[in-house]
């Protein structure tokens, strides 16, 4: 580092897992198409949480994005999604409703179902690569 002494704080800042970061940071990275950020956050997430929690969260996000895509207006979307219309998260999904194509939403749902089956039926050694592939694919389909 150019002659600078590396401190404990430098190491902790660079290499500490971040279990306190909410899952929606990972979801935001996927939904915005940021593959590098999404894979980093996935790695952090898997250190402290179960993969099925992530699949459930992502399926909910795809469902809400799908509802936003077909809703005639914001109030109808909020009602269909059983969401608070004043919520930042609800507004954010509504604003991103046109980022993913219909085929991207369908591909994401199919991939989530396949990943769910893999996690429930295959050896644990396959889980990380399954989730990494899902993450990269969803980054492409959802942004």
Indicate whether 16 pLDDT > 60: no
Tens of pLDDT, residues 21-48: 678 899 999 999 999 999 999 999 998 8
**Can you tell me the distance from the alpha carbon of 95 to that of 136, in angstroms, rounded to the nearest whole number?**
22
Contacts of 56 (CB under 8 A, 6+ apart): none
Which fold, 22-142? Zinc Finger, Delta Prime; domain 3 (1.20.272)
Please state, in angstroms and rounded to a whole number, the distance separating the CA atoms of residues 32 and 74.
Answer: 21
- The C-alpha atoms of residue 3 and residue 32 are separated, in whole angstroms, by 38
pTM of the predicted model as reported, rounded to 2 decimal places: 0.82
Which CA distances in Å does 97 have to 9, 44, 93, 100? 40, 28, 6, 7
Is residue 101's pLDDT more than 70? yes
């Amino acid at each position: 580092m150019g002659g600078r002494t590396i401190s404990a704080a430098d190491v902790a800042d660079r290499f500490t897992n971040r279990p306190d970061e909410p899952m929606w940071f990972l979801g935001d990275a996927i939904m915005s198409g940021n593959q590098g950020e999404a894979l980093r956050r996935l790695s952090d997430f898997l250190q402290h949480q179960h993969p099925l929690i992530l699949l459930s969260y992502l399926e909910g996000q795809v469902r809400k994005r799908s509802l936003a895509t077909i809703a005639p207006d914001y109030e109808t979307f909020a009602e269909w999604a059983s969401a608070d219309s004043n919520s930042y998260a609800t507004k954010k999904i509504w604003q991103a409703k046109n980022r993913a194509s219909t085929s991207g939403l369908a591909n994401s749902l199919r991939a989530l179902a396949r990943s769910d089956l893999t996690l429930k039926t295959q050896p644990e050694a396959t889980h990380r690569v399954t989730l990494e592939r899902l993450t990269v694919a969803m980054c492409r389909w959802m942004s």
